[in-house]
């Protein structure tokens, strides 16, 4: 009876952080990824002019991933971070490469096989759910993807469920600052850093710290509230 009551309380807590009838906050933001192919995006995502790609090794080092930890790369794209994470956590750790585009998932699997990385698990998700199992990860990594969340509170509730107690969430995304950011960022990116922090705190996360590693992007750390 005590276990059932505890599970009931957990369910109520998770529901309180997710808006059951949340409206789409950015319709059409992901239309380019519907039926997209890996080949048409790999040169866009993996180019040296892109800060999150150019600084990928520094980002992975800053995460300080413990061996044998379980990490989710949410919005994995072509999988370049997933591949690095798989090496960092070692064969006893797991990396869940999560994306909504099927051809990205297929090619992440291909690249993992070519590099003999058996600890990568590619997950075809949807716009509202990571489809990760509850309490299955220690860290959720969301890089250049948060502004693509059409249902941010619902998606964050999914991430929160997947995180173990004390689990961390990292958000890396474009700095949106009038007069400093490009016109593309100002029109494409929905929220600035402070708005993102507020949304995360409403979703059951506590802001912990910010890394100053990147220039064009902020690098935020959150912990799952208990």
The Cα 95–Cα 127 span in angstroms is 20
3-state secondary structure at position 191? coil
Please, what is the average pLDDT of the chain? 92
pLDDT tens digits, 63-104: 999 999 999 999 999 999 999 999 999 999 999 999 999 999
Q: Quick: pLDDT tens for 93-131.
A: 999 999 999 999 999 999 999 999 999 999 999 999 999
Strand partners, 185: none
- The answer to whether the CB of 173 falls within 8 A of the CB of 189 is yes
Instruction: Identify any residues that bridge with 223 across adjacent strands, giving them in sequence order.
Output: 168, 206
Phi first, then psi: give them for residue 168, nearest 5 degrees: -110, 150
Edge-to-edge strand order for the sheet containing 217-224? 120-124, 94-99, 70-74, 137-143, 163-174, 217-224, 205-211
pLDDT-derived band of residue 5, with 50, 70 and 90 as boundaries? Answer: very low
Residue 175 pLDDT greater than 50, yes or no:
yes
* Percentages (nearest 5) of helix, strand, coil residues in the chain: 40, 20, 35
Report the distance separating Cα 39 and Cα 140, nearest Å: 26
Q: Evaluate the CA torsion angle 194, 197, 201, 202 in order and state its sign.
A: positive
Give tens-digit pLDDT for 187-215: 999 999 999 999 999 999 999 999 999 99
Distance CA 105, CA 120 (A): 11
* Assessment of whether the complete model's pTM goes beyond 0.85: yes
Nearest to 112 by CA among 124, 126, 125, 95: 95
Q: Domains of the chain, with CATH numbers?
A: 29-224 (3.40.50.150)
Cβ proximity of 120 and 82 under 8 Å: yes
Q: Which two tokens stand for residue 45?
A: 């995502």
Average pLDDT over residues 149-173: 98
């Amino acid at each position: 009876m005590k276990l059932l009551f505890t599970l009931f309380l957990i369910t109520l807590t998770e529901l309180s952080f997710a808006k059951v009838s949340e409206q789409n906050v950015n319709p059409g933001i992901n239309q380019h990824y519907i039926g997209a192919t890996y080949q048409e995006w790999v040169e866009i995502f993996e180019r040296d002019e892109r800060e999150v790609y150019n600084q990928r090794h520094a980002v992975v080092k800053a995460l300080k991933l413990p061996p044998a930890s379980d990490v989710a790369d949410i919005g994995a794209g072509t999988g370049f971070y997933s591949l690095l994470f798989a090496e960092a956590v070692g064969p006893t750790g797991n990396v869940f490469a999560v994306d909504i585009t099927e051809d990205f998932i297929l090619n992440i699997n291909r690249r993992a096989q070519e590099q003999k990385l058996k600890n990568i698990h590619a997950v075809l998700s949807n716009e509202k759910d990571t489809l990760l199992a509850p309490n299955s990860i220690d860290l959720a990594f969301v890089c250049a993807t948060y502004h693509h969340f059409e249902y941010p509170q619902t998606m964050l509730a999914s991430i929160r469920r997947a995180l173990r107690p004390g689990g961390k969430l990292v958000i890396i995304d474009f700095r949106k600052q009038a007069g400093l950011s490009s016109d593309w960022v100002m029109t494409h990116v929905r929220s600035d850093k402070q708005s993102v922090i507020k949304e995360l705190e409403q979703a059951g996360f506590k802001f912990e710290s910010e890394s100053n590693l990147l220039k064009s992007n902020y690098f935020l750390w959150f912990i799952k509230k208990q």
